Amino acid sequence: MPQQSTEILAATAGGIARAAQLLREGRLVSFPTETVYGLGADARQGEAVAAIYEAKGRPSFNPLIAHVHSAGAARRYVQWNDVAEQLAAAFWPGPLTLVLPLREGHGISPLVTAGLDTLGIRVPAHPTGQALLSELDGPVAAPSANPSGKISPTTAAHVIAGLDGRIAAILDDGACGVGLESTIIGLAGPEVMLLRPGGLAAEEIETVLGRKLVQRDAHDPLTAPGQLLSHYAPGAPVRLNAEAPGEGELFLGFGPVECDLNLSESGDLAEAAANLFGHLHRLDALGRPIAVAPVPEHGLGEAINDRLHRAAAPRD
């Protein structure tokens, strides 16, 4: 990815307005939350979300958390329910992420959810993060702002050490208070599930709910976040590195080829990443086997190929 000069923005009205403007332009901005510094992109812009993976050098697509300024804003994107209302009232803003079904017309890029029909969403408590989200008045997808495999950053200096030159700006407001990622609660199924322990103690949540959380079973592919993805695969067989479609196959192209849908005609990997899940869903809906053109292994191509390999893996 091209080297850029990373702006260090102060936590002032001017710095926050600049950060919001960069996000609107599809650029990456690191911002403070009470847990850790996030690496933010406008969650409605697929190529901006793809750039998160490029900047982090992350070799696989995970679902990302969307950050919003209020519970009211969260309800624009997810199907709300009574437990969500109860937890939001008790703990938002704060280090709690709720996983809920996406609602119709949500506008969130499928790359944020890695093709799932649920969204992890949270309202961070940090005043500067809050101010940025209010200024943008839109959803910001953000994993922790560290290169893949490195420790999560709790100061702007940590972010600079890892990502200087790879992102547009850092909104600097000192050290994060919690220093531990948010607790993730799954509310998309019949049970209230603890998907990831984090900065908000499970006991506190249980006290508010008046019942025990269901612990996720690491062997259950429907509840283990890392494995959620292998669960999403098209119904029909997928054949990789195809130069052309065979008889009866749909063709998912890359580069200047004749095909049913193209990940990127110009061979742009960020565009291909942004299109990946949406295109797979659309071809899957046609119910025929899918052949996929070769995608190069460099840069974002690694994560794209990881996902394609899972989609093509033999299933029971």
Any idea what DSSP says for residue 314? -
Q: Which residues of 28-60 are buried (b: 16+ CB within 10 A; e: fewer)?
A: bbbbbbbbbbbbbbbbbbbbbbbbbbbbbbbeb
Which phi and psi angles does 166 have, rounded to 5°? Answer: -110, -10
Q: How far is the CB of 152 from ligand TXA (least distance, A)?
A: 7
User: Which of these ranges, 181-189, 212-220, 241-249, 269-277, lies near ligand TXA under the rule CB under 6 A?
Assistant: 181-189
Cα separation, 30 vs 17, whole angstroms: 14
> Which is closer to Mg ion, CB of 30 or CB of 144?
144
> Which is closer to Mg ion, CB of 134 or CB of 155?
155
Alpha helices (runs of H) in 25-153, residue ranges in sequence order: 46-56, 71-74, 82-91, 110-113, 127-136
Out of 33, 144, 183, 275, the only residue in the binding site for Mg ion (CB under 5 A) is 144
Residue 225 interacts with ligand TXA (CB under 6 A): yes or no: yes
Using the structure block, give the residue that is written with the tokens 């599809």.
Answer: 26
Residue 162 interacts with ligand TXA (CB under 6 A): yes or no: no
User: Which of these ranges, 92-100, 143-151, 208-216, 245-253, lies near Mg ion under the rule CB under 5 A?
Assistant: 143-151
Residue 30 interacts with ligand TXA (CB under 6 A): yes or no: no
Q: Which of residues 35-54 bind ligand TXA (CB under 6 A)?
A: 35-36, 38
Order across the sheet with 250-253: list the strands: 238-239, 290-292, 250-253, 261-262
- Binding footprint of ligand TXA on the chain (CB under 6 A): 33, 35-36, 38, 62-65, 95, 97, 99, 113, 116, 118-120, 142-144, 181-182, 184, 195-196, 225, 228
